[in-house]
Chains A and B, each alone.
Chain A
Amino acid sequence: MRGVAPIHVAAAVKRYGAVAALRGVSLDFPAGRLTAVLGPSGCGKTTLLRAIAGFLRLDEGRVRFGDDDVTALPPQQRGTAMVFQSYALWPHMTVFDNVAYGLRLKRVPKPEIAKRVGAALALVEIGDIDAVARRKPAALSGGQQQRVALARALVVEPRVLLLDEPLSNLDAKVRQRLRVEIRRLQRRVGITTVYVTHDQEEALAIADRVVLMSAGRVVQAGTPQEVYLAPATEFAADFLGVGTRLEARAEPGVLVLDETRQRLPYAGAERGPVVVVLRASDVALGGAGATLGGDLEESLFLGDRWRHYVRIGGAMLIVDGDAPRAAGPVRVSVSAARLRVYPRQGGSSC
């Protein structure tokens, strides 16, 4: 590895005509750690990744790898390696040639190429290396192709590994398995890694640090636990986890829902128009304490739990439970400690 470098992005701005994809993003990606950049489609996360890789030129701002300013460098001189959503393996080359390509460009001697390609394929646990190395990518499964793409990225010993939604094209089971393997691999190699995804579960599971983006800005950055358990904004609370957004008015000691005038005890400091975000896992049907009244319209079986849809005025409250319930009037208990209340603003997401 050419030295593990932290990545510093300072005041990055990228515009496409009138649309700003990045609006002054400043971020530090710690050396040797895996940082997941999470956000909805169009929030700027892939633009940020491509700016780090050098595939697009920033309108403003700088990108540094450690002490090296790479802002003006073309991609081939940055020492990054990228894994693409579509794998981007060259179909006319064998697996061996795909992985060896970067080394050939660097004029590495042939015996060393063979050794390093074998080691990279072993690292990603491709299986029977000799057999796989001779095949063309089309003869491999999606999971194997993504392993080859990872091997191709790692074999050139980059300073920074960039992953652009690498598991999005795989089915759920392979995705779960590869997620763990990428995590294990990154820990073993110890390379600074940026992992872009729109899948919150993937980001929370795999990352040392999560960066949540919206509309070209960083909304929150922290450990997965910090970001999930203490979302800093209404957008963060709404985006992470499955939940419902209710508009209310915060008064001393109480929250009054706008539409139904139902009341919930509230010990927080916010006053005036607010948004209450209730996660499906933080509310329950029935129970004691503070409750909201509504009509259960639908219950869906999700395998490990039931998901109930309770209408409260114009809003549909999502409540997770472990048993089916008949449709009709219900009470939903809300834990005061789990209430997430934010001052009400305009549109929040991308």
Chain B
Amino acid sequence: MWRLYLRDVFYTLGVAAAGAALTFALAIPVCGWLRARAFGPVEFLLKVPLFVPFVVVGHALRVFLSPWAPGLAGSWTGIAVALAWKHLGLAALLLLGAFRAVDESHLEAARNVGAGTARLTKDVLVPMSAPSLAVSAVLIFSSMLASFSIPLMMGRGGGAQMLMIDVYYRFGQHGDFETAAALGVVGYLMAMGAALVYLRRLTPPLQRRSLR
């Protein structure tokens, strides 16, 4: 069974990693710009995806992508794009919080010696928010690993599937509770791997030592 689903495991990891990378590639520059010069309408637009249901996102992206890039709508890249758009709001929420916690004087010191917004983001905001960014990345990656509605709505006829789709089909279509449970455990272990990074980042070193 492991051999049957190994491809799906890597497919799921790949889609989640690509989706998370795309989310941050979009969110970091926009949040850096918003940190440097607050602009309410852009911040609002960035957070809109937070309030759109997963199913609606999947459907909408399929509808929007199909006419322009028919191959993309049902592909792993299409799913990654949809997941990235949906998680943009959460990423913006987490990143803006982290960027706004960076003291203004650190930004002013950089602007003072010639840094524009892009360099400010790359050289000051991102490195100074690195722990928060890592935690945000893990949260978003874990959420994407467990995504179900968007891959279902974006739909693929065959080939590799997201793991949660497999769980649904084994359980819902075939009544195969054992395989569904085993796939669920695999999904859980994958999320736990990410969670370990999260917990290590959140737990201060001293506490970690005493926990050993």
Q: How far is the CA of A55 from the CA of B111 in the complex (A)?
A: 9
For residue B200, CB closer than 8 A to chain A, the reply is no
Binds B, one of A14-22, A26-34, A87-95, A218-226: A87-95
> Within the complex, what minimum Cβ distance (angstroms) separates A111 from chain B?
20
Interface residues of B, dominant DSSP: helix
Which chain A residues border B109 with CB–CB below 8 Å? 82, 84, 88-90, 149, 152
Cβ of B71 under 8 Å from chain A: no
Pick from B103, B105, B108, B113: contact of A105, CB under 8 Å = B113
The reply to whether A88 and B128 contact each other, CB–CB distance below 8 Å, is: no
Answer yes or no: B116 CB below 8 A from chain A CBs.
yes
CB distance from B126 to the nearest CB of A (A): 10
Inter-subunit contact B114/A106 (CB<8 Å) = yes
Closest 6 CB pairs of A and B: A102-B113, A88-B105, A88-B109, A105-B114, A92-B127, A84-B105
B residues near A152, Cβ cutoff 8 Å: 109, 113
- Is the C-beta of B190 less than 8 angstroms from some C-beta in chain A? no
Task: Tell me if A253 counts as interface (CB < 8 A to partner B).
Answer: no
Can you give 21 A-B contacts (C-beta < 8 A)? A55-B111, A74-B111, A76-B113, A81-B112, A81-B113, A82-B108, A82-B109, A82-B112, A84-B108, A84-B109, A88-B105, A88-B106, A88-B109, A90-B106, A90-B123, A92-B127, A101-B113, A101-B123, A102-B113, A149-B109, A153-B112
- The complex places the Cα of A88 from the Cα of B112 at a distance, in Å, of 11
Complex Cα–Cα for A169 and B127 (A): 25
B60 within 8 A of partner (CB): no
A to B contact number (C-beta, < 8 Å): 60
Residue contact B113 to A92, C-beta cutoff 8 Å = no
- Say yes or no for A193: interface residue by CB 8 A criterion: no
Expressed in whole angstroms, the minimum distance between the Cβ of A158 and any Cβ of chain B is: 9
> What residues on B are CB-neighbors of A102 within 8 Å?
113-114
- Can you list, as one digit per residue, whether each of A153-190 has a CB less than 8 Å from chain B (1) or not (0)? 10010000000000000000000000000000000000
Query: Which A261-292 residues have C-beta < 8 A from chain B?
Result: none
B127 CB to nearest A CB, Å: 4
Given contacts A75-B112, A92-B130, 7 further A-B contacts (CB under 8 A): A53-B108, A81-B113, A84-B105, A88-B108, A90-B109, A90-B124, A105-B113
Known contacts A86-B103, A88-B106, A75 near B111 by CB under 8 Å: yes
Q: Does B21 contact A (CB under 8 A)?
A: no
Tell me if A197 is interfacial: C-beta within 8 Å of chain B. Answer: no
Q: Quick one: CB contact mask for B129-165 with A, threshold 8 Å, 1 for yes? A: 0100000000000000000000000000000000000
Interface residues of A (CB under 8 A from B): 53, 55, 74-76, 80-82, 84-86, 88-92, 101-102, 105-106, 149, 152-153, 156
Chain B residues in 8 Å Cβ range of A80: 112
Over the window 95-107 of chain B, the binary record of Cβ atoms lying under 8 Å from chain A Cβ atoms (1 yes, 0 no) is 0000000010110
A80–B103 CA distance with the chains assembled, in angstroms: 20
A156 and B114: CB pair below 8 A? yes
Q: Given the interface contacts A84-B109, A105-B113, A106-B114, does A90 sit within 8 Å of B128 by beta carbon? A: yes
Q: Which of B109, B112, B116 has the most CB of A within 10 A?
A: B112
Complex interface residues of chain B between 8 and 46 (CB less than 8 A to chain A): none
> Is there contact, CB below 8 Å, between B103 and A92?
no
Q: How far is the CB of A167 from chain B (nearest CB, A)?
A: 16
Q: How far is the CA of A84 from the CA of B110 in the complex (A)?
A: 12
Q: Is B93 an interface residue (CB 8 A)?
A: no
Query: In the complex, how many angstroms separate the beta carbon of A48 from the nearest chain B beta carbon?
Result: 15
The answer on a CB contact under 8 Å between A88 and B103 is: yes
- Which residues from A are CB-within-8-Å of B113? 76, 81, 101-102, 105, 152, 156
B19 to chain A, nearest CB (A): 27
Establish whether residues B111 and A76, one from each chain, have CB atoms under 8 Å apart when the complex forms. Answer: yes
Q: B115: CB under 8 A from chain A? A: yes
Q: Mark B171-191, 1 if CB is under 8 A from A, else 0.
A: 000000000000000000000
Choice from B105, B119, B128 contacting A86 with Cβ under 8 Å: B105
Given A90-B106, A105-B119, A76 and B114 contact (CB-CB distance below 8 Å): yes
Partner of A76, one of B103, B116, B127, B130: B116
Cα of A82 to Cα of B108 in the assembled complex, Å: 9
Which A residues touch B106, using CB under 8 A?
A: 88, 90
What residues of chain A lie closer than 8 Å to B124, measured between beta carbons? 90
Q: How far is the CB of B62 from chain A (nearest CB, A)?
A: 42
A74 to B110, CA, bound (A): 12
B103 CB, nearest partner CB in chain A, Å: 7
Given contacts A76-B115, A76-B116, A102-B113, is CB(A55)–CB(B103) below 8 Å? no
Query: Nearest Cβ distance between residue A137 and chain B, in whole angstroms?
Result: 11
Q: Is the CB of B112 within 8 A of A91?
A: no
Distance in angstroms from B188 CB to nearest chain A CB is 35
Q: In whole angstroms, what is the CA distance A53 to B107 when docked? A: 13
State whether B108 touches A55 (Cβ < 8 A): yes
